[in-house]
Amino acid sequence: MAAFVAQYFWYAFLIVFLVGTALLTRTKFQRSYIIFLMKTRRGIGFLDRLARLAPGAWTFLADFSVLVSFGGLGATYISRHRRPWPFLLVLGILTLVFLLPVVGPVWTGVFAVLLLGAIAIAERLRATAGYFLLGAVVMAGAVLGLLGGVSAPAAVIAAITGAVGIPGLLVSFLAVQAGQIVFAQSTVPGVSPLLPGVSAAGEIGFVFPGLNIFIPLWSGLIAIIILLVSHEFSHGILARVHGIRVRSMGLLTFGIIPIGAFVEPDEKHLATKRSEQKMHVYAMGSFANLIVAGLCVLLVVPASLSLAGLVMPAGVQVETIQDGYPAAALEPGTVIWAVNGVNVSTVDAYVAQVANLTPGDAIVLDTDRGRFSLVSVAPPDGSPRGYLGFTLQTKTVPVHAGQEGLVAFLLFVLSTLNIVFLFNLNIAIVNLLPVLPFDGSKMFEELMQSFGLGKGHRQAIAKAIVLLVVALLILNALPLGSLAAAALGG
C-alpha cells in the first residue's frame, strides 16, 4: 500500500492542483497568472478590538522585539525614542535563565550583579555607545546559553549575534554550513523548501528535501495555520495600535496551494508615521512567531508529564529511513529491541550503545521483524561517527488497557507542538534577514535611516548584504541540485 501511494501521489496531486486552480480562475479574486490574492475586510474589526485591549503592552512588546531582533543595534535604535533599560532588564532576566544550566549559579549571580550595574551606569551616562555595548553583551549571553556552552565557535557566533541580532545568527550558521558543503564535509543542504510528499510508510504530509524530515499532514496544516495567523495578526494589531488603516486581510496562493497570508496596511498612511511606529509594525510578526515557539516549549512539559504516567517504553521504533544508507534494509515502523545483544528500550539507551560507532563498524540489530546485520558508513555532515541513515523514536505502549485513545491523542499533541515550534522558530529567524521580501529588509532600512546614513550609503550597505545572503543561500542549496538530478535520473 505504501508503495502504491508513493507511486501515484504526484499524479493525484497534479490532477487536484490543476482542477482546483482552474476553478479559482473563475472567481473574482485578484490574480497574476496562477498567483491569487484572496482579499477580505472581514476580521479587521477583531484586530481593532485586540489593539484596544492594552496598547501600552503591545508597544512594549514591539520595542522588546526590536531589541531581540537586532541586539546592540536594536538597543541603540530604541534609545533614540525611549529609555531602553526596561527592555534590557527583561532580556537580561531571560539571559540569566539560559545561562544558569550552562555556567552554574555562581557565575550566573556574578553576571546578574554586573548586568544591574551596567544598566545603572548606562542610564546615568545616556551614551549611545553604552547602550549598544550593553545590548550586545546581554544578547550574546543569551545566545551562549542557548548554544549550551562556551567555545571558540560559540563565542564568535554570540559576538556577531550580540552586535547585529538574529540576522547575524542565521548568517553565521549559513556561512558555517556553506563552508562544509564547499569543502565536501557535508552533503546536507543548509536550506530546503517545504513540499508536499509521502513518507516511506505511505503517509501523506510534507517533506524538506535532503533533510530526512517528514511532517504528517494534519500536524503540518495546524502548524502552518498557527504560524500565518500569529504572524499576520501581530502586524495588523500594531498597525491599528498606531492608528494605521488596514485595507484588507487575506491569503496568497500559488494555484490552490496557500503560500502565505497577509494583512495589508495603507502604505501611504504608514509612510506618514514616525520611524518607531513603522518599526513596531514590521517587527511584531517575527516576534509573535518567537512567542508561539516559546509557548510550545512550555506546553510540551505538561503534555510530556501527562503521557509519561500513561505509557512505558517498549523498544526503539524506526521513524524515517534515508535512501542509499544501510538502514534501507529496514522498514519504517520496525521496532529495535537489542543492539549487539544488549537490550534497548529507549532512544537514550540506543544512543548509549552506539556512542562509539565509527564508519565501517558492524552492528547487529534484533527487531520485531528479525535480525539485521548492518555496516555503518560516514554521515552526510562529515562527522567521524558511524551512520546508518534512520531517525528513531521511543516506542511506548499503554500501562493499562483501554487507554489507547488517550495515549494516541497525547502523542499527536506532542508531535504537533514540536512541529509548531519548528515552523515558528525558523520563520521568525528567516523573516529577519535584511533582504526583500522579508520584514527584516524594512526594519534594517529604518535602522540605517535612524543612524543618519545617507541614501547612497544605505544603498551600498543594502547591496552588500543582499549579495552576501544570496551567495550563502545558493551555496547552502547546492546539495538540492544533486538531489533533483538524482530524482530526475531515477
Length reported for the chain: 490
Domain span at residue 120? 44-305+416-489
- In this predicted structure, what is the pLDDT of residue 370? 86
Tell me if 68 is assigned to some domain.
yes
| Look-up of cell digits 472567481 | 27
Q: How confident is the model at residue 451 (pLDDT cuts 50, 70, 90)?
A: confident
Cell numbers found for residue 205:
504530509
Stretch 96-103: mean pLDDT: 85
Residue 437: asked if its preceding bond is cis (omega within 30°), the reply is: yes
Element (H, E) at 56: helix 55-79
Query: Percent of the chain, pLDDT > 70?
Result: 95
Query: Is residue 62's pLDDT more than 90?
Result: yes
Q: Identify any residues that bridge with 205 across adjacent strands, giving them in sequence order.
A: 197, 216
Tell me if 386 is assigned to some domain.
yes
pTM across the whole model: 0.82
- In this predicted structure, what is the pLDDT of residue 70? 92
Asked if residue 388 and residue 244 are part of one domain, the reply reads no
Cell numbers found for residue 55:
496598547
The sign of the CA dihedral 161, 165, 170, 172 is negative
Tell me if 23 is assigned to some domain.
no
Asked if residue 284 and residue 233 are part of one domain, the reply reads yes
Query: Percent of the chain, pLDDT > 90?
Result: 12
Q: Which of 344, 365, 398 is the last residue of a domain?
A: 398
Asked if residue 203 and residue 136 are part of one domain, the reply reads yes
- In this predicted structure, what is the pLDDT of residue 288? 93
Contact (CB, 8 A) for 301 and 398: no
Query: First CA to last CA across the chain, in angstroms?
Result: 21
Q: Select from 394, 392, 415, 402 the least CA-distant residue to 314.
A: 394
Contact (CB, 8 A) for 210 and 479: yes
| Look-up of cell digits 505502549 | 397
Helix ranges restricted to H, 329-438: 347-353, 404-430
Contact (CB, 8 A) for 78 and 120: no
Asked if residue 468 and residue 447 are part of one domain, the reply reads yes
Asked if residue 327 and residue 267 are part of one domain, the reply reads no
Tell me if 9 is assigned to some domain.
no
CB atoms within 10 A of CB 400: 9
The distance of Cα 185 from the centroid of its chain, to the nearest Å, equals 24
Q: Identify any residues that bridge with 81 across adjacent strands, giving them in sequence order.
A: none
Asked if residue 480 and residue 440 are part of one domain, the reply reads yes
CATH of the domain at 334: 2.30.42.10
Asked if residue 117 and residue 246 are part of one domain, the reply reads yes
Contact (CB, 8 A) for 194 and 260: no
Asked if residue 259 and residue 362 are part of one domain, the reply reads no
Contact (CB, 8 A) for 130 and 121: yes
- In this predicted structure, what is the pLDDT of residue 355? 84
Tell me if 166 is assigned to some domain.
yes
Q: How does 403-431 read in b/e, with b if 16+ C-beta sit within 10 Å?
A: eeeebeebeebbebbbbbbbbbbebbbbb
Which of 69-73, 88-92, 161-165, 376-380 is predicted least confidently? 376-380
Q: Select from 151, 480, 473, 187 the least CA-distant residue to 325.
A: 187
Asked if residue 235 and residue 114 are part of one domain, the reply reads yes
Asked if residue 240 and residue 179 are part of one domain, the reply reads yes
Query: Is residue 64's pLDDT more than 90?
Result: yes
Tell me if 15 is assigned to some domain.
no
Q: How many domains is the chain built from? A: 2
Cell numbers found for residue 353:
550503545
| Look-up of cell digits 527487531 | 367
| C-alpha to C-alpha distance for 427 and 302, rounded to whole angstroms | 25
Tell me if 256 is assigned to some domain.
yes
Asked if residue 209 and residue 356 are part of one domain, the reply reads no
Asked if residue 376 and residue 421 are part of one domain, the reply reads no
Tell me if 182 is assigned to some domain.
yes
Query: Is residue 490's pLDDT more than 70?
Result: no
Q: How confident is the model at residue 60 (pLDDT cuts 50, 70, 90)?
A: very high
